[in-house]
Structure 1
Amino acid sequence: MKLGSSPNSPQAGGSADVPQKGIVTILDVEHPSAQNADGSFRSEAIVAHFIAHSEAIVWLQFGPGGMLLLTADKRGHDFNLFRINAHPVGSSLITKT
């Protein structure tokens, strides 16, 4: 899992890695071809990439089964619960519950 990934991520078609507030990128680090030689992650390793908050995320926790993700912003006023659904072609659909 990686907090603050860039809108220029491989998923978005770019390669820069400039931190952005409120963005969550979930990576499958055990994917057979997850990393490039330089240590960066390939787009095939991205399970999900989405905007969780408009401000910085200071806390997140996966549920016991790994299919739910709870996030909180830096003010502690906004909490979001996301369901991570596996997609048949490899990417994920994210639904806010």
Structure 2
Amino acid sequence: TTLAGLFAVSSTIHLKMKYYTNNGQVATINGDIAAARRCFEAATKNLNTVTTPKKKKAEQPTPVVNSVGSSNPVDLDARLTKKEHEEEK
């Protein structure tokens, strides 16, 4: 077979194939899991073509500021306890 002629090792689970090049180096071919899933779904539906979804524009996240409402801002100061705060007054 072709894979045996290339001395290739394939892994369908990892979607990879490794083989020796002409100069003795090991080359790796990586598959695309999303494309493989689309092909599988198309094959199970007996479709002849596979459509590639268009990339959506990345939405810019709006900066969010969390605010804490308190009638007394000193209550938020961790350096002082209520007793120390009353002593300062």
- State TM-score, norm by structure 2: 0.28
Q: With a CA cutoff of 8 Å and minimum separation of 6, indicate the structure with the bigger relative contact order.
A: 1
Task: Please tell me whether Structure 1 or Structure 2 has the larger radius of gyration of its CA atoms.
Answer: 2
Query: 1 or 2, which has the higher strand percentage?
Result: 1
Choose between structure 1 and 2: higher helix proportion: 2
